[in-house]
Structure 1
Amino acid sequence: MHRKFQATGHDLHSLLFSFLDELLFVFNTEFFVCQTLSITSLDLEGFTLEAEGRGDTFDRARHAAGTEIKAITYSAMEVVQNAERTDVYVIVDI
């Protein structure tokens, strides 16, 4: 199963929040779980993002279930960029 995602923001943190919130929304409404996720377009000047996810519909018989994420938060959100990689830290409400 294949799914496309789009997100926009007014800065890097709001873009990250919007993207993660979209992933959570799709899970909660369509029960889609990504096995792989690829960023296909990232505009750091206009703060837009496009991604493609491949996965399946969540099924308790096939997928492990644990603590449910209720919301994405801005609390202590951090994006650390350097020449080799970008690390993202996000706290979620459970």
Structure 2
Amino acid sequence: MTNGPDLMKPYIPVKRELTRSILNEDSDDCASWSRTTLEGSTYQRVIDLANEGLSQSDVARELEVNRSTVNCHYRKAQEAGMINRKGTAF
């Protein structure tokens, strides 16, 4: 073993996310891509459904996700002031 420089490259973890890409066309037939993370879209759907008056249980059923996932997104959205009504218990 030598005491020279360390030749190993440093490990830099990369956060990978699932995304949904959608090709959009405007009225002038110009195309553009929009991309959202699936996590982000679930978060936004939780906000939208909660603001429509659905309970957290109903939101979980509608999105086919675990109630704890909805609860986590719900709390985060509530703290950010994105939910317009008082929270409903499961």
Query: Could you state the TM-score of these two structures normalised by the residue count of structure 1?
Result: 0.28
Higher helix share: 2
Q: Give the number of the structure whose alpha-carbon radius of gyration is greater.
A: 2
TM-score, structure 2 as length reference: 0.28
More strand, by proportion: 1
| Greater relative contact order, per chain length (Cα 8 Å cut-off, separation 6+) | 1
